[in-house]
C-alpha cells in the first residue's frame, strides 16, 4: 500500500492523456477559438490579416435578411419535425410494447433500420421519390390525376424534407422510448388494472409520468439535432426554392467554405448555439416544473 | 435494473385475455403496415439499381421487369470519371482507423476515470459529458482552420484524428466499467498486476459487449459521416463513399439507375453490419438514452 503515494495517484492520468489531448485539441480549443474568431473579420482567400471588429459579425448577422431567412427556415423545420418525431416514436413504441417478444424485436429493428442509412444515400433515394416527372410518388399519384411539385413549390418543399426526415430519424427516438417503457415496473399496471383503470387512464397516470425523464431526453436531443439539419436539405433541395429550405447550417457552410468568410461563419455558429441553448432550456423548464 | 422482476414481459393478468384477441391482431396489422413503409424505400434502392433506365423513368412495378447489371458495369468500369473503388477503400480505411482510435483512446480514458481514484476526476468527467450537449456545427469552422494549420486538410487524418475527441465513447464505457465488480481487480492487485495489466487482462476482456457496441457505433458513424468529409476533403480521389456518391449525383443528375447502384455499394457494408449486430446496436442506443 506504500504505492498509493500522491505521485502514484497522479500517474494514473497517463491513462487519460491520449483522450484528453484529442479532447483539448479538437473540442476545447476549437470551442474557444471559434468564439474568438467570431469577433474577427477574416476572409481566408484575401491577403489581409484577420481584423478585430468586436461584435461586427453578430451585428451583420442580426441585420441580414439572409440570416433571418435561414434561421426562420431552420425554426420551421424544427417546429414541424420535433413534435412529429416524438409523438410518432411514442406511438410506435407503445404499439411495439404490446406485441410478443419475437415480433417485438423484428418491428424494433424494422423501424430503426432507416436511421443507419447514410444521408447521401437517403437523400438520393428521396430525391428520386419526389421527382416531379418520374418520381415514385408522382407515378402513383398520376393514376389519380394529381401531380405534386414536391421540391419546387414553396408550400411543399419544407414539408417534403420533414417527411423524409421523419422516415430517417424516427427509429432512434422510438428505440429509446421503448427502452424507457420497459423500465416501468409491471406491478404499477397490475395495481391499476385491479383498481379498474382503463388503457387511457393507465397511459396518463402511469406511463406518461414515469416516462417523463426519458421523454425529456428524447425531446431535447431531437431539438439539438434538428436545429443542425443540413444533409437533407443539402442533398434534396439544395436550399431551394427561393432559399426557403436553406437552413442555418447550410448558410454557415456556404459562408465559411464557399465564400471563405471564417469570422462571419463562426459568429453564426455561435448564434445558432445560443438559439439551441434557449430552446433546450425552455424545454427543461416546461417539463421539469409540471 | 428493476426489470429483472418483470418476468415474461407484458402478459400480466387481466391484460392477457384483453389483448390476445382482435385488439392484438389490429396492433400487429398496423405495425406490419408501418414496417413496410419503413423498409420498402431501402429495398427499392437495391431493386431499382438492377433496372434499366427506361424502367426507372416509366415506373411500372417495384420489381424490375428485366434485370440488368448495366448500371454496376458502368460505375465500376469508369475509374477515371467515377473512382468508386477508390472511395470505397478510403471509406474502409477511415472507418477502420476511427473505430480503432476511438476504442483504444476512449477505453483507456474511461478506465482511468471510472477506476483509478484520480484527483479531480469527477470534474473532468462532468466536463467531458457536458460536451455531448454542445451542437457539433459549432466546431466546423475552427476545426477546419486547425486542420489547415496542421496541414491535414484533404488527407484521411483530417477525418480520423478529430473523431477521437468525441465524448460518447468515454461516457458509454465509463458507465459500463462502473458495473464491473471490483473484487476481480483487487485479487489481481494482490497478485501484483500493474494498472495497465488490470486494464488489459481484466477490464477489456470483461467489457467485450460494451466495446463491441462502441466499435459498431464508431464504424457506422464514420462510414456515414457526411459533413466532415464534405468540408475537410477536397480532391475527388480523397473522398469517402457518401461524399463521393453525393457529389456524383450532381453530375449524373437524371441517371437514377447509376446513382442508385452507387448507393447500393455505399449501403451494403452498413447493411451487413446492421444485420449482424442489430441487437448490439439497439441495446447500445437504449442504454445511452436511459442513463442520460
Angle (CA) B103 B107 B108, round 5°: 120
Q: CB under 8 Å to A7, separation ≥6 — which residues?
A: none
Distance from CA of A21 to the nearest CA of B (A): 8
Model pLDDT for residues B16-27, shown as the tens digit of each residue: 444 457 878 888
φ/ψ bin of A196: left (φ > 0), alpha (ψ from -120 to 50), beta (otherwise): left
Mean pLDDT, rounded, of chain A: 89
Higher pLDDT, A2 or B242: B242
Whether chain A has a CB inside 8 Å of the CB on B291: the answer is: no
Provide the whole-model pTM: 0.88
Please tell me the CATH code under which domain B84-291 is placed: 1.10.3720.10
Answer whether A137's CB lies under 8 Å from A167's CB. no
φ/ψ bin of A159: left (φ > 0), alpha (ψ from -120 to 50), beta (otherwise): alpha
Model pLDDT for residues B111-144, shown as the tens digit of each residue: 999 888 778 888 999 999 999 889 989 999 999 9
pLDDT at A6 over 70: no
pLDDT at A257 over 50: yes
The full set of domain ranges for chain B reads 11-76, 84-291
Whether chain A has a CB inside 8 Å of the CB on B89: the answer is: no
Q: Can you give the pLDDT at residue A7?
A: 66
Whether chain A has a CB inside 8 Å of the CB on B279: the answer is: yes
Contact between A16 and B118 using a beta-carbon 8 Å cutoff: yes
pLDDT-above-90 percentage for chain A:
55
Beta strand residue intervals within chain B, DSSP E: none
Residues B96-114, mean pLDDT to the nearest whole number:
95
Q: Can you give the pLDDT at residue B53?
A: 78
Q: CB under 8 Å to A219, separation ≥6 — which residues?
A: A82, A86, A283, A287
DSSP letters spanning B142-162: HHHHHHHHHT-TTSTHHHHHH
Q: Can you give the pLDDT at residue B62?
A: 77
Among A84-93, A122-131, A195-204, B183-192, name the one with the lowest average pLDDT.
B183-192
φ/ψ bin of A239: left (φ > 0), alpha (ψ from -120 to 50), beta (otherwise): left
Contact between A120 and B223 using a beta-carbon 8 Å cutoff: no
Crossing angle between the packed helical segments A29-37 and B140-150, to the nearest 10 degrees = 100
Model pLDDT for residues A208-247, shown as the tens digit of each residue: 989 988 898 899 889 999 999 999 999 999 887 888 899 9
Q: Can you give the pLDDT at residue B289?
A: 67
- Most A CBs within 10 Å, among B28, B160, B165, B268, to test the A interface: B165
Among B17-26, B34-43, B192-201, B224-233, name the one with the lowest average pLDDT.
B17-26
Residues B65-86, mean pLDDT to the nearest whole number:
84
Among A37-41, A249-253, B5-9, B126-130, name the one with the lowest average pLDDT.
B5-9
pLDDT band (50, 70, 90) for residue B285: confident
pLDDT at A66 over 80: yes
Q: Can you give the pLDDT at residue B115?
A: 83
Among A76-90, A129-143, B267-281, name the one with the lowest average pLDDT.
A129-143
**Grid cell of B152 as nine digits:** 491535414
Mean pLDDT, rounded, of chain B: 84
In chain A the domains, ranked by start, together with CATH numbers, are 58-289 (1.10.3720.10)
Q: Which residue of B has its CA nearest to A276?
A: B135
Contact between B138 and A272 using a beta-carbon 8 Å cutoff: yes
Q: Can you give the pLDDT at residue B292?
A: 43
Dihedral sign of CA atoms A39, A42, A48, A49 in order? positive
Nearest CA to B273 out of B205, B224, B230 is that of B224
Q: Can you give the pLDDT at residue B18?
A: 47
Q: Can you give the pLDDT at residue B2?
A: 37
Query: Which residues in A lie closer than 8 A to residue B266 (C-beta atoms)?
Result: 118, 120-121
Residues A138-163, mean pLDDT to the nearest whole number:
87
Place of cell 416546461: A286
Q: Can you give the pLDDT at residue B15?
A: 46
pLDDT band (50, 70, 90) for residue B51: confident
Residues B76-81, mean pLDDT to the nearest whole number:
80
Model pLDDT for residues A32-60, shown as the tens digit of each residue: 999 999 999 988 877 888 889 989 999 99
pLDDT at B8 over 90: no
Of B31, B136, B273, which has the smallest distance from its Cβ to A228's Cβ?
Answer: B136
Amino acid at each position: 500500500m506504500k504505492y498509493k503515494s500522491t505521485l502514484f495517484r497522479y500517474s494514473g492520468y497517463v491513462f487519460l492523456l491520449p483522450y484528453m489531448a484529442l479532447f483539448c485539441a479538437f473540442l476545447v480549443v476549437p470551442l474557444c477559438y471559434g468564439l474568438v474568431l467570431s469577433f474577427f473579420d477574416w476572409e481566408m482567400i484575401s491577403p489581409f490579416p484577420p481584423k478585430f471588429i468586436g461584435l461586427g459579425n453578430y451585428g451583420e448577422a442580426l441585420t441580414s435578411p439572409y440570416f433571418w431567412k435561414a434561421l426562420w427556415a431552420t425554426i420551421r423545420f424544427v417546429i414541424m419535425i420535433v413534435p412529429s418525431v416524438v409523438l410518432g416514436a411514442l406511438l410506435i413504441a407503445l404499439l411495439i410494447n404490446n406485441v410478443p417478444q419475437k415480433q417485438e424485436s423484428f418491428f424494433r429493428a424494422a423501424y430503426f433500420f432507416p436511421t443507419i442509412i447514410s444521408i447521401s444515400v437517403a437523400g438520393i433515394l428521396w430525391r428520386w421519390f419526389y421527382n416531379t416527372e418520374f418520381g415514385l410518388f408522382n407515378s402513383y399519384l398520376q393514376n389519380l390525376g394529381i401531380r405534386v411539385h414536391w421540391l419546387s413549390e414553396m408550400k411543399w418543399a419544407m414539408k417534403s424534407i420533414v417527411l423524409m426526415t421523419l422516415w430517417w430519424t424516427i427509429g432512434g427516438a422510438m428505440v429509446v422510448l421503448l427502452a424507457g417503457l420497459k423500465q416501468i415496473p409491471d406491478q404499477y399496471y397490475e395495481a391499476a388494472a385491479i383498481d379498474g383503470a382503463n388503457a387511457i387512464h393507465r397511459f396518463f397516470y402511469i406511463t406518461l409520468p414515469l416516462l417523463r425523464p426519458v421523454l425529456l431526453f428524447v425531446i431535447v436531443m431531437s431539438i439539438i439535432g434538428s436545429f443542425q439539419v443540413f444533409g437533407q436539405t443539402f442533398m434534396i433541395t439544395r436550399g431551394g426554392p427561393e432559399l426557403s429550405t436553406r437552413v442555418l447550417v447550410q448558410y454557415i457552410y456556404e459562408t465559411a467554405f464557399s465564400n471563405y468568410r471564417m469570422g462571419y461563419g463562426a459568429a453564426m455558429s455561435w448564434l445558432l448555439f445560443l438559439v439551441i441553448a434557449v430552446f433546450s432550456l425552455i424545454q427543461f423548464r416546461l417539463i421539469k416544473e409540471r | 435494473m428493476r426489470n429483472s422482476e418483470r418476468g415474461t414481459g407484458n402478459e400480466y393478468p387481466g391484460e392477457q385475455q384483453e389483448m390476445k384477441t382482435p385488439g392484438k391482431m389490429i396492433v400487429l396489422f398496423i405495425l406490419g403496415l408501418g414496417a413496410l413503409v419503413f423498409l420498402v424505400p431501402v429495398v427499392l434502392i437495391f431493386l431499382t439499381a438492377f433496372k434499366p433506365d427506361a424502367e426507372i423513368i416509366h415506373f411500372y412495378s417495384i420489381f424490375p421487369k428485366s434485370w440488368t447489371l448495366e448500371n454496376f458495369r458502368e460505375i465500376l468500369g469508369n475509374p477515371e470519371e467515377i473512382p468508386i473503388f477508390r472511395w470505397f477503400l478510403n471509406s474502409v480505411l477511415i472507418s477502420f482507423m476511427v473505430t480503432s482510435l476511438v476504442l483504444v483512446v476512449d477505453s483507456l480514458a474511461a478506465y482511468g476515470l471510472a477506476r483509478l481514484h484520480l484527483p479531480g476526476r469527477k470534474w473532468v468527467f462532468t466536463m467531458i459529458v457536458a460536451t455531448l450537449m454542445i451542437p457539433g456545427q459549432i466546431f466546423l469552422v475552427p476545426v477546419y482552420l486547425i486542420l489547415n494549420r496542421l496541414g491535414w486538410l484533404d488527407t484521411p487524418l483530417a477525418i480520423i484524428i478529430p473523431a477521437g475527441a468525441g465524448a460518447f465513447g468515454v461516457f458509454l464505457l465509463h458507465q459500463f466499467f462502473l458495473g464491473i465488480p471490483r473484487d476481480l481487480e483487487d485479487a489481481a492487485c494482490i497478485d501484483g498486476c500493474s494498472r495497465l495489466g488490470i486494464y488489459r487482462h481484466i477490464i477489456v476482456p470483461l467489457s467485450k459487449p460494451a466495446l463491441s457496441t462502441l466499435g459498431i457505433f464508431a464504424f457506422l458513424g464514420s462510414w456515414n459521416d457526411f459533413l466532415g468529409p464534405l468540408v475537410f476533403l477536397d480532391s475527388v480521389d480523397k473522398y469517402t463513399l457518401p461524399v463521393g456518391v453525393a457529389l456524383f449525383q450532381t453530375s449524373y443528375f437524371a441517371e437514377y439507375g447509376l446513382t442508385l447502384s452507387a448507393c447500393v455499394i455505399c449501403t451494403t457494408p452498413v447493411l451487413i453490419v446492421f444485420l449482424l449486430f442489430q441487437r448490439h446496436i439497439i441495446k447500445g442506443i437504449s442504454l445511452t438514452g436511459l442513463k442520460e
